[in-house]
Amino acid sequence: MLSGPTESTATKPHHPAIKPQTERTKAEAWEKDEMAKIKERYTKLKSTILAWEEKKKKKAKTKLYRAERGLERKRARALLEFQNEMDHIKQAVDGERSQAEANQKANIITVKEGKKKKKAKDKLDRAERGLERKEHEPR
C-alpha cells in the first residue's frame, strides 16, 4: 500500500477556484435574489388583496345604495298612500259635517216651526178657554 494520504482520506475543497470571499458574494447575491422574489410575490399578493377589498367594498356600497333607493321609493310610496288616505278621510269628514250641519239646521227649523205652531195653538186654546169662561160666568 501506499504510504501517505490517499485520495479517499484527503480533504479536497469542493471548488478549489472559489475563494471564501466569492462564496460570500454568491451567498449574498442568492439571498438578495430570494428576497427580491419574496418581495415581488408579496407585493403581488397585497395588490390582489387590495383589489379584492376594493371590489367587495364597491359591491357592498352598490347593494346599500340599491337598498336605500328601494327604501326611498317605499317611503315615497307610503307617504303618497298616507296623503291619499288623509284626502279620502278629509272628504268623508267634510261630507259628514255638511250633512250634520244640514240636518241640524233642518231640525232647528222644525223645532222653531213646531214652537210657532204650539204658540199659535196655545193662543187659540187660551182664547177658546177664555170664551168658555165668559160663557159660564154669570153676567
| pLDDT tens track for 57-80 | 999 999 999 999 999 999 999 999
pLDDT tens by residue, 114-127: 888 888 888 888 88
| Max CA pair span of the chain | 197
The span from the CA of 42 to the CA of 29, in Å, is: 20
Chain position carrying cell 291619499 = 84
In degrees to the nearest 10, what's the CA dihedral of 15, 18, 19, 20? Answer: -70
Give residue 45's region: left, alpha or beta (phi > 0; psi -120 to 50).
alpha
pTM above 0.75, yes or no: no
